[in-house]
């Protein structure tokens, strides 16, 4: 990252110096041109095509310098964004995405309630969209605000608990909640996990949380890794 920062700064300085020299040369060019026009032979005036070509060349150089300056600016922004993202590696983040990885026997999410709920249900689906488990959310997790929730991989099919637990893969959680008056409550689900790597996609930093890639702009909170929360059955 240090090499990129030095390279960007060097490029920026080179573009700035080039623009300064161009401005000086352009002023000199106009001064010489004005003097030449004043003192030209009326019977053999200056060739207009030559004058036009010189102006076009000067304009072309200026446009190239402007393009270089824009490119340098974009590189600087990209480097800054990636640098900020790298600082998140090893941190636990919460992101606006309901997909999480089963890691070390646990998949973790959080959800937000806009108000107190009377009841809520949680449903886990695998990558193929099949429901692998569902349960009633504990009453201690029905108050307004954010709640962490986890699943230990227990798979239920047709009401029967299967002997083999899910040990890998990505899963999506959906929470449905109802207010005290019986009306539905929105309960958006977020992914919770540790950042393991960072990459740039189309100039934007993306984080890998487990095996799930998440755009950095969707991160809503960052904290030091916490102890595992109790899994739902």
Give the helix, strand, coil percentages of the chain, each rounded to 5.
35, 35, 30
**Which pLDDT band, with edges at 50, 70 and 90, does 22 fall under?**
low
2 C-beta neighbours (distance < 10 Å), count? 7
The whole-number pLDDT of residue 75 equals 46
Overall average pLDDT of the 157-168 stretch: 89
| Cα–Cα distance, 169 to 127 (Å, whole number) | 7
104-129 CB burial, b ≥16 within 10 A, e <16: eeebbbbbbbeeebeebebebbbeee
**Which pLDDT band, with edges at 50, 70 and 90, does 218 fall under?**
confident
208 C-beta neighbours (distance < 10 Å), count? 17
Residue 9: pLDDT above 60?
no
Q: Quick one: which H or E segment has residue 61?
A: helix 48-86
Q: Retrieve residue 197's tokens.
A: 């790597």
| Cα–Cα distance, 139 to 135 (Å, whole number) | 12
The 10s digit of each residue's pLDDT in 66-96 is 555 554 444 444 455 666 777 888 888 888 8
| Cα–Cα distance, 219 to 148 (Å, whole number) | 16
The whole-number pLDDT of residue 152 equals 94
The whole-number pLDDT of residue 74 equals 43
The whole-number pLDDT of residue 64 equals 64
The whole-number pLDDT of residue 140 equals 93
| Cα–Cα distance, 171 to 131 (Å, whole number) | 10
**DSSP state for residue 45 in the 8-state scheme:** P
201 C-beta neighbours (distance < 10 Å), count? 9
Reported as half-sphere exposure (CB side, CA atoms, 13 A), residue 83 has a value of: 11
Report the length, in residues, of the chain. Answer: 233
The 10s digit of each residue's pLDDT in 182-216 is 999 999 999 888 888 888 877 788 888 877 888 88
CA angle 188, 194, 199 (to 5 degrees): 95
The 10s digit of each residue's pLDDT in 26-80 is 666 666 667 766 666 666 665 556 656 665 565 665 566 555 555 444 444 445 5
| Cα–Cα distance, 227 to 206 (Å, whole number) | 25
Q: Quick one: which H or E segment has residue 149?
A: strand 145-151
The 10s digit of each residue's pLDDT in 95-150 is 888 888 888 888 989 999 999 999 999 999 998 999 999 999 999 999 999 999 99
CB 78 within 8 Å of CB 203: yes
Answer with the residue of higher pLDDT: 3 or 229: 229
Q: What is the pTM of this model?
A: 0.57
């Amino acid at each position: 990252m240090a090499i990129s920062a030095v390279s960007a700064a060097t490029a920026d300085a080179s573009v700035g110096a080039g623009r300064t020299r161009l401005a000086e040369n352009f002023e000199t060019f106009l001064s010489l041109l004005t003097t030449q026009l004043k003192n030209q032979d009326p019977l053999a005036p200056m060739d207009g095509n030559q004058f036009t070509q010189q102006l076009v060349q000067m304009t072309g150089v200026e446009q190239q310098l402007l393009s270089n300056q824009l490119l340098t600016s974009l590189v600087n922004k990209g480097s800054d964004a990636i640098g900020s993202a790298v600082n998140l590696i090893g941190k636990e983040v919460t992101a606006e995405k309901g997909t999480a990885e089963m890691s070390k026997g646990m998949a973790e999410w959080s959800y937000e309630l806009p108000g107190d709920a009377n009841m809520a249900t949680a449903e886990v689906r695998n990558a193929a969209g099949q429901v692998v488990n569902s349960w009633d959310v504990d009453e201690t997790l029905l108050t307004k605000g954010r709640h962490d929730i986890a699943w230990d991989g227990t798979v239920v099919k047709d009401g029967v608990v299967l002997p083999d637990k899910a040990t890998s893969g990505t899963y999506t959680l959906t929470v449905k909640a109802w207010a005290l008056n019986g009306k539905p409550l929105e309960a958006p689900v977020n992914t919770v996990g540790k950042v393991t790597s960072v990459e740039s996609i189309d100039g934007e930093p993306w984080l890998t949380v487990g095996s799930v890639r998440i755009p950095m702009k969707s991160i809503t909170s960052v904290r030091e890794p916490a102890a595992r929360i109790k899994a739902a059955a």
